Structure 1
Amino acid sequence: MATELTPAQQRQAHLARLKAKNKLKQDAQAIKATRKPANFVNTTPHQPSSSRNAASGVQAAAKDLKDTPAPLPRDSRLGKYFEYDLSKLHNSKGGFLTEEDGDARQTMAAIQREKARERARIAAGEEPAINPETSPRCAICGSLELDHEFLRVFGVRICKKDKKDHPEQYSLLTKTECREDYLLTESELRDPALLPHLLKPNPHASNYSNMMLYLRIQVEEVAWKKWGGPEGLDEEWEKREDVKRERKVKKFEDGLKALRRKTKHNAYQVRQDAEHQHEYEDIPTDNPEIIHRTCIECGHSLEVEVM
């Protein structure tokens, strides 16, 4: 007794019949296209072997393309469905947990670099304090939450809260401010043993040199030691301001003298100076009827006949 087919088996059998009919139809069309009629006459002129080979290659490629079976027409009775290539799909876990975030896609070198950074942070004391009794504390409030950047660069134990509350001691100064306000030299600012500094990217342009930032309390300590306290620094600043003013006045006077000198020696002034009134002096001669006159300023001389 024959068993009845399930709906899925019936649908599969129907698809198989459609594929077989389509294949038979394609084979018949291919045989009909390649068959030559009985009264066929070759009118193609003779070609060189190289041309024949190239033409045969093109014909073979066209034949292979023609022999490629066309995709089966979609049966409308199967309903609406979407085809997916499961080999190209990626499971993103709903967009929350991805494999890229885990260690699965990290290389061994990247994992080792991350572990090395963790060991460096632990060695620098940037990890939370394990033993509160031996861990460094803030110099003002005694907190364990230190600013590790200040501790590493400047060697100062201070927390971020006290750093904001005491800007007169723990604010950062640029190199220009240290040179102009505290009168420190370039060699002193470049000495990391004397004045440690923190490097930051220049906010004006990325291709500029990095900013060198100094801790105010350390800069003031070096400046007081160099100038003998704030009073000595003010006196030195006043002296330098006086020298600047004198230099500025001297430069102005020199420019004014040069302008006067340039104005005096121009063509108009020379012409004005050349026009003057002669003041003659009479000089007697051997002939009483003739008097010799000479200008006192320019030396111009002439002879005058006495009437």
Structure 2
Amino acid sequence: MPKRSYNPSASEEDKMPIVEKLYRENQESDALGGGFCDDDDEVQERREQISEMRQKRADAAFSSTKAPDNCEKCEKVLMDSWLWERYNCAVCDACRDDKGEHKLLARTDVKTTYLLKDCDLDLRKPPLRYWAKKNPHNPRYGDMKLYLKCQVEARVLEVHGSWEDLELKKELREQSKEVRSEKRFEKKLKDLRQQIRGNTGVRVDFGKAHTHEFGKESHVKEDTWKRTCTTCDYEEVFEKL
């Protein structure tokens, strides 16, 4: 099947992310475009349906959990609690701290900041509940999965043992990155040396600065003199008054 033609306007193409642009150009048809096609309303509606079904399946595993009688913060009767409905966190709306322990964290940030893997979030029992929301950068991209900070921190202690161990693992990861970066730099430097040596036939050492050692000066004409380095044959011409 030949690839479909795709001719966006200049303004559309300028605003379009490069990943979407390349994806569109290499699809055989809109049906295989993974959501990147021109019928935006239909595609968006289908994506929302799929997202809703996935969220319901994820929430179903927690539907049988019985709510406690009291809020674990103020110990009053647990009446209105968005945190319980969304995350099974027994904290009432009055005690909810959106900027602190009840802050919502994106999955990518959770994995980067706390060094948690997919299996730590999805497979370790019990799996962490999440709230799927549209990607704020582009609704055509996959939904963002938001996790509750206090539950993430509890999982961190299960996985890493302590905050000190987490910081140690972060340091070791940074050191590994530095070592890999140094190795890449050394390889590039070695390749450059080999390339220059192949072109000139002269060995070049970037690690040591060369200091010229000049021999005896010789007269050229009138006030012009010259001298030559005894190690690299560099010739310097100068004037004497």
If the length of structure 1 is used for normalisation, what is the TM-score? Answer: 0.41
Deviation at 1:221, TM superposition (A): 1.1
Asked if the contact 1:174–1:214 (Cα under 8 Å) also holds between the matched residues in 2, the reply is: yes
The one-character-per-residue Cα deviations of 1:154-184 (angstroms, maximum 9, x if unpaired) are 21122233213x6332111111111111100
1:103-118 correspondence runs (5 A): none
Structure 1 residue 190 corresponds to structure 2 residue 122:
yes
Aligned to 2:102, which of 170, 187, 196?
170
Q: Distance in 1 between matches of 2:196 and 2:104?
A: 53
Establish whether residue 255 from structure 1 lines up as the match of residue 225 from structure 2.
no
Unaligned runs of 5+ in 1: 1-123, 125-133, 274-307
SS in 2 for 1:249: helix
Residue 175 of structure 1 aligns with an amino acid whose one-letter code is: R
Is the contact between residue 78 and residue 91 of structure 2 (CA under 8 Å) also seen in structure 1?
no
- Between structure 1 and structure 2, the one with the greater Rg is 1
Aligned-partner SS, 1:138: coil
Q: CA RMSD in A?
A: 2.4
CA 1:184/1:206 → structure 2, altered by over 3 Å: closer, same or farther?
A: same
Structure 1 stretches of 4+ moved >4 Å: none
Which residue number in structure 2 is paired with residue 215 of structure 1? 148
Structure 1 stretch 152-161 or stretch 217-226: which is displaced more?
152-161
3-state SS in 2 of match to 1:203: coil
Question: How many percent of aligned residue pairs carry the same amino acid?
Answer: 29
Residue 101 of structure 2 is aligned to residue 201 of structure 1: no
Could you tell me how far 1:238 is from its partner in structure 2?
Answer: 0.5
How far the C-alpha of 1:223 sits from its partner, in A, is: 1.0
Report if the CA contact (8 A) 1:151-1:157 is conserved.
yes
How far apart, CA to CA, are the structure 1 residues paired with 2:163 and 2:95?
25
Counterparts of 2:176 and 2:182, CA distance in 1? 10
1:146 aligns with 80
Question: Is the Cα contact below 8 Å between 2:120 and 2:159 reproduced in 1?
Answer: no
Q: Which runs of 5 or more structure 2 residues have no equivalent in the other structure? A: 1-62, 204-241
CA-to-partner distance for each residue in 1:228-264, whole Å, 9 max, x for gaps? 1100100111111100010011111111111111111
Aligned length: 136
Structure 1 residues 135 and 155: alpha-carbon distance in aligned structure 2, compared to 1, 3 A threshold: closer
Q: Cα deviations across residues 197-250 of structure 1 (Å, max 9, x unaligned)?
A: 111111111101111111111111111121111001001111111000100111
**Contact kept? 1:146, 1:157, Cα under 8 Å:** no
Structure 1 position 238 matched with structure 2 position 171: yes
1:258-287 Cα distance to aligned partner (Å, 9 max, x none): 111111101xx13x79xxxxxxxxxxxxxx
Alignment of 1:1-307 (within 5 A): 136-141=69-74, 142=76, 144-148=78-82, 150-164=83-97, 167-191=99-123, 193-266=126-199, 269-270=200-201
CA contact (8 A) 1:138 1:146 kept: no
Q: Is the 8 A contact 2:130 2:147 kept in 1?
A: yes
Instruction: Considering fraction of residues, name the structure with more helix.
Output: 1
Ranked by relative contact order (alpha carbons within 8 Å, sequence separation 6 or more), the top structure is: 2
